Amino acid sequence: MARRHARSVRPQRRKERAHALPGERGDAFRCVGCRLDVPMAAPGTAHRNHCPHCLSSLHVDRRVPGDRASGCRGRMAALGLSVRQNGEWLLIHHCLTCGELSANRIAGDDNALALLRIAVRPLSDSRVPVRAMLTL
Amino acid sequence: MSTLRTNTFTCVRCGLTVTLSGPDGARRNHCPSCLHSQHVTDHVEGGPSDCLSRMTPIAIAVLRTSDWMVIHRCTRCDELTSNPVSPDDNHLILMRMAVRPLAQPPFPLEVFGEV
């Protein structure tokens, strides 16, 4: 899946690499949502933080990405999509345990169907104002 | 925000004077005109925040109850909050945020025509 907005590539923020949780090797993780074994190396991002298949994440970071300071370890489900100025999509994750929110860049191998389902979710409900605005 | 005496607040972006309670009686925390908010509570530590910066709306989220939520991001410290949509919120801005991902897809959408 090629990035269409490759001209405006935003450099990644420098982070401490703290991928390995205690008792893990650190080159892969198992998704808490669908139990898929996910390798850490991902096209398009140096910091994979969600499952490419079901887009679930794990609540491990507190305030700074990569700090692994949160004791929550709850499952984070994809809640919505946001778009940066340069057209890059961000997934908004929502912790099902404590309600914390986080925004994460999508990776090149993320499930396009799952992403699109989240993108069209606001438009899919049949309330009247949505139809009225679409006719504008 | 001087909210105690008047039950209103002034929007930090557009300056609109907004009543604290919306038309459905729910307490509102963002401007219905420009949907911007102010960072007053710290959601990581809990309690009030001393940031007090402007929070811009970045995304729409849909709950299982099909209610819309606005995701705000603080322009200064990047904290995220989600707030329910009020009935008199600016529908043009809400709709613009909802269709924004589909207007700039990172992959071609044509292949989904048959799905």
Instruction: Quote the domain boundaries for residue B15.
Output: 8-100
Q: Domain ranges for chain A, please list them.
A: 6-134
The average pLDDT across B23-37 equals 89
pLDDT at A2 over 50: no
In-domain check, residue B31: yes
What pLDDT is stored for residue A126 in this prediction?
Answer: 59
Helical residues (DSSP H) of A6-93, grouped into ranges: none
What is the arithmetic mean of pLDDT over A82-97? 90
Show residues of chain A in contact with B62, CB under 8 Å.
Answer: 80, 121-122, 125
Q: In the A/B pair of chains, how many CB contacts fall below 8 A?
A: 85
**Nearest by CB: A100 against B43, B60, B91:** B43
B67 domain residue, yes or no: yes
**Is B105 part of the contact surface with chain A (CB cutoff 8 Å)?**
yes
Convert the pLDDT of each residue in A19-61 to its tens digit. 555 556 667 888 888 988 888 877 777 778 899 999 999 998 8
- Asked whether residue B115 is domain-assigned, the answer is no
Q: What is the pLDDT of residue A3?
A: 44
Q: Which pLDDT does position B46 carry in this prediction?
A: 74
Q: Chain A: nearest CA to B5, how far in angstroms?
A: 32
The answer to the question of residue B85 being in a domain is: yes
CA distance A54 to chain B (A): 17
Q: Does a structural domain hold residue B89? A: yes
Q: Which helix (H) or strand (E) holds A75?
A: strand A75-83
pLDDT at A117 over 60: yes
- Are B106 and A3 an interchain contact pair (Cβ–Cβ within 8 Å)? yes
- Tally the domains of chain B: 1
The predicted model gives A79-91 an average pLDDT of: 89
* Residue B75 located in a structural domain: yes
Q: Which of residues 29-48 of B touch A (CB under 8 A)?
A: 43-44
CB contacts of B71 in chain A (<8 Å) are 79-80, 82, 92, 101
Residue B28 lies in a domain: yes
Whether B99 and chain A come into contact, CB under 8 Å, resolves to yes
Residue B106 lies in a domain: no
Give chain B's mean pLDDT: 85
Residues B60, B101 contacting (CB under 8 angstroms): no
Distance CA A71, CA B87 (A): 37
pLDDT score recorded for residue B54: 93
Nearest-CA neighbor of B60 among A13, A130, A54, A95? Answer: A130
Phi then psi for B6, rounded to 5 degrees?
-105, -10
Tell me whether B81 touches chain A (CB under 8 Å).
yes
Average pLDDT on B31-59 reads 87
Q: Are B48 and B41 in contact (CB under 8 A)?
A: yes
Query: Is residue B61 less than 8 Å (CB to CB) from chain A?
Result: yes
Taking contacts as CB-CB distances below 8 angstroms, the residues of chain B near A92 are 59, 61, 71, 80
